[in-house]
Each structure stands twice: as structure tokens, then as C-alpha cells.
A and B are shown apart, each in its own frame.
Chain A
């Protein structure tokens, strides 16, 4: 019990410190539009990756198709706003509904597949969505994409002149996604998802309704991704099939979590803070070099991080803190166990 409360307090405390720090960034650090846009995008992709972490990080069902939910969130808001002049917030809500419904439908088919086959199916599906959105031009704008009408400063329509507002909205989104995944991790669903990841047969022998648990996990995990998509839409004001459903976004959501630490609560946070700025910096600084050079550098950084620690950055930190048997004449029986026990618990969650 003690360790649990300690863990809660440390996660909660750290969370509040980080939140205050991030909220105050525009006052002392974010002084240019470039930095502001990088920071906002980091938070948006962080939210999508936090969602991914539920089914793929905790549940071990590695999705390379969370761009489906991101894209559905973005396109649903955009289509409703452009074609039906629906309120942006309502569109956002409907975007979540559409994404969750699709998550259940697609999950009903794909979650029966194990391991790499599930991953491949999700990846194939997101590319199918890219083709479909490109095809139905009248509705989606086709390959050209959809552009939101310029509304100026209209808070009621999710439109803000001051881009710092979007930064704070993205921050709230990421914070909510973080709290949501934290609650999932502590819940029955989180425990059962982790058991499925560890050994699905053993979990089933323990009474875990594996398919239902995975389906629920996928549906929950689609929510932050869809919200991230619709916030992205409102922020950037433009979406096309490739930036919504394309291979880059599909892998990026997963890679952010892998680099930070898949299955770790803070993994997507750390991953997004490192990778999104890196990507944006490389895009702008290496554009004079042959095309694609920025991606090569990006890939190298990812490879080096995962080569040093395949379980992601969060595991690096923990590994350095790993049990060092208490020095000197500590009593021989129990003390070995205590630190060894404390580390892994926090590692699972932290």
C-alpha cells in the first residue's frame, strides 16, 4: 500500500511540476513562431501517442495504424465544418465517435490476429483510408485536401488569432490523455491488457476475456488519437490524405512511444518531446541537402536510441538506478528483495 501511494504521489507531483513548467513556456522560452509551432505539434502528437500506448504499449498489440483515428478525427471535423457548417466543437466530438466506432469495427477483425499480423493489418488499413479519402473527392477534397474557412478570432468556432491559445489547448489535450492512460494503467483493464501482452494464453486461463479486453483497449486508445487529429486540423487549418492517413504519421505515432518507452506511462511524453522537435528542426535545417536527407538523420537518431536501449529512454533512466545491493553489513536475508521489488513496480508504471 505504501509503495502504491508513494508511486501515486511521485507521478502526480511530477505531473504537476511538468504541467506548470510546460504552461509557462510561452512566457520565457517560446519566443518565436517556429518554436511555438514545434511545441504545439509536439503536444498534439504526444496525445496521439499516449492513446497508442493503451492498446500497443500496455496491451502489446502493436498498431501501425493509429493514424486512422487521427485522420478520422481531422477529416470528420473538417468535412462537417466545410460542407455542413457544423460547429467545430461538435465536429470534434463527432470525430471521436466516428473513430471509436471504426476502432470497434476494425478491431473486431484485426484483433483476432496475433503479433506482427495485427501490425501489418493496421498498417494496410491506414493506407486504404488514405486511398479512399483521395478517391471520394466531392466529400474529402481528394488528393488536394481540405482547407478550413478562415474565421479570424472566433473562439466559439475553435478559431484563434493568437496561436499561443492553440499551444495551451494542445497542452490540456496532452495532459488529459496522460491522466486517462494513467487511470487505465491502474484499472482492471490496464492489468488485464498487461497480462495479455505478457502471455495471452496464461491470461485466458486466468479468466481474462482477451478479445473483449483488447477491443475495449483499442476503442479507448482511439479517443486521444482522434482528438489529436481534430485539434491538429483546427490548428493547421488544412488536411490531405497523406498527412492524415499516410505511412509517415502511421509510423510516427508508434515510433514516438517506442523511443520514449512503449508501455511506460511517461514513454510517449518523453518520445514526443525529443522526436517531434528533432523532426521539425531537421525539416527546416536540412532542406538544402538532397531530398530525404533529413529523414535519414531522423532515422539514424531513432536507431541509435533504440540500439542503446530497445525498451526506450524511460528504461535507460531506470536501468542506471537498478538494484545495487546495500553496501556493507546489511542483514543478509530480506534487504536484497526490497530494492529489487521497489524498482520494477515503478518501472512498470513510470
Chain B
């Protein structure tokens, strides 16, 4: 039995006097889909940024496989196989879909021809072949989010980090994107999802990690975590039980 794919130990991120993430431990197994929830300011995105190399941890370690990730710059982390999307879509707006995806492929492929082939392969996987020549700024938000996923996939990641993918999407688009994420995970792609919409987390995650004020307060299967009184109090408020059925 091999060890976990991602191992985060004692991760602390401090901004001046503010402790955004405080001594967090967790692991993610190969093929798993981990959901991370927590109220605003709980440190979810900061932790994400630390894993992706965009924020330097104050202390603690992050490993993918045997490889130490913490302390490395984001471009090195990306090349080690950790790909991410951004909370607010950050595509290369004036470029076409194909150029956006080819860009990230070009950082791991030996030639531009190979990068183009990789981009087309990913576009086909996500059903975006018809959109290849369109500039991304002309696409609707839901498609832009898919391009962000495509751009991340072109890196052939071992771990995919998805930050608040569902914000700004309607019901049908959310459903569609959940399908995409499930399918990718079903093909064996290890994924971490940060999400505000609880239904999404409940539906997607094998396991849920709850952060509050930068501290891990609970972890476990989605349904158990949702009933955990600490979670209910910290994240959902006291009358949360009734609200569980509604979209948050």
C-alpha cells in the first residue's frame, strides 16, 4: 500500500500578525476527491495558495509523493504536477481557447507540436473542440471555467486544485461542471475542491475537511462532518440544520 499522494504537515501561514492557516495537517490519497469548506476568512484559499506555491508557508511541509513542494515557486510546483484554477477566472483573455490550453501544455511538452496536440486532446476530453478558435473573453463564464480546467489538465497534473468553481454559475451550469469534475476524478485524477455551495461538496467529496479561523476543526465523510456540532456552530450557525437542504 503506497502512502498518500499529498501530505500536508503542520502547515502555518502568517501574514504579519494574522495567522491565516494554523498548524493544519491532512493527506489526500491517490484518486481521492477532498472537499474543503469553512466560513469566509477560514483560510481555505490561503491554504490552497500554499499548496500551489503562490504563498510561502511560514512553517510546515507539503509533499507530493516524495517530492517537497513547500518553498518552491508556483511554476515549479505546477511542473511537479499540482495544477490549479483560480477563484476568479484568470485566463489569458485576448488569447483563443486553444492558445490558453497550449500555453500550459507548452511548459511540459517537448515541442510546440506536442503542446498543440495535448491541447486538442484536452479540449476534446472536455467537449470544447468547437470552441478552440474563440477568444476566451468572448465565452460565457461557465465555458471560461471549463477552459481554466482544461488549462490545468494540459499540465498532466497528479493533483488538481479547484477553487470555488461554482460561484456565478446557474443550476444547470453547476450540474454540468459537477459532472465534469466527477468524470475527471472517476478517471483517477486526485482532486481537492474548495466550495461554498454545500450541496456541491456533499455530492462530490469522498471526504471533507473543515477549516475555521485557519484551524482544522473537523474531517471525515461529508454526511458525518455536516452533523458535527462544532462544524454546525462554526460554519453554518446555530439554525443550520434546517438550511441544509437549500443551496447555501
Residue positions of A touching B, CB distance < 8 A:
3, 187-188, 191-192, 194-195, 198-199, 201-210, 334, 337, 340-342, 344-345, 348
How many Å from the CB of B222 to the closest CB on chain A? 28
How many Å from the CB of B118 to the closest CB on chain A? 12
How many Å from the CB of A139 to the closest CB on chain B? 41
Binds A, one of B5-13, B93-101, B197-205, B213-221: B93-101
B94 A207 Cβ-Cβ under 8 A: no
A341 B133 Cβ-Cβ under 8 A: yes
Q: A188-B112, A345-B96, A348-B94 are in contact. Are A207 and B79 (CB under 8 A)?
A: yes
Q: A187-B112, A205-B74, A207-B75 are in contact. Are A341 and B95 (CB under 8 A)?
A: no
Q: A191-B103, A204-B78 are in contact. Are A341 and B91 (CB under 8 A)?
A: no
Residue positions of B touching A, CB distance < 8 A:
52, 54, 73-75, 78-79, 83-84, 86, 90-96, 99, 102-104, 106-108, 112, 115, 130-131, 133-135, 138, 151-152, 154-155
Which residues from chain B contact A202 at a C-beta distance below 8 Å?
A: 86, 90-92
Q: A201-B54, A202-B86 are in contact. Are A210 and B133 (CB under 8 A)?
A: no
Which residues from chain B contact A206 at a C-beta distance below 8 Å?
A: 78, 83, 103-104, 107, 151-152, 154-155
Which residues from chain A contact B52 at a C-beta distance below 8 Å?
A: 205
How many Å from the CB of B107 to the closest CB on chain A? 3
A348 B106 Cβ-Cβ under 8 A: no
Cα distance, A204 to B54, chains bound together (Å) = 9
Among residues of A, the one whose C-beta sits closest to the C-beta of B154 is: A206
- Told that A205-B52, A340-B134 touch, could you supply 16 new A-B pairs with CB distance under 8 A? A188-B106, A191-B99, A191-B112, A194-B99, A198-B94, A201-B54, A202-B86, A202-B92, A204-B75, A207-B79, A207-B107, A207-B108, A208-B107, A337-B134, A340-B135, A344-B138
Among residues of B, the one whose C-beta sits closest to the C-beta of A347 is: B94
B90 A195 Cβ-Cβ under 8 A: no
A-B contact count (CB 8 A): 88
A192 B103 Cβ-Cβ under 8 A: yes
A205 B92 Cβ-Cβ under 8 A: no
A340 B138 Cβ-Cβ under 8 A: yes
Give me 8 A-to-B residue pairs in the complex whose CB atoms sit less than 8 angstroms apart, sorted by A's number: A194-B95, A199-B91, A201-B90, A202-B91, A203-B103, A204-B75, A205-B84, A340-B135
Cα distance, A7 to B112, chains bound together (Å) = 18
Which residues from chain A contact B75 at a C-beta distance below 8 Å?
A: 204-205, 207-210
Which residues from chain A contact B151 at a C-beta distance below 8 Å?
A: 206
How many Å from the CB of B53 to the closest CB on chain A? 8
B94 A344 Cβ-Cβ under 8 A: yes
Which residues from chain A contact B115 at a C-beta distance below 8 Å?
A: 188
Among residues of A, the one whose C-beta sits closest to the C-beta of B135 is: A344
Which residues from chain B contact A344 at a C-beta distance below 8 Å?
A: 94, 96, 135, 138
How many Å from the CB of B106 to the closest CB on chain A? 5
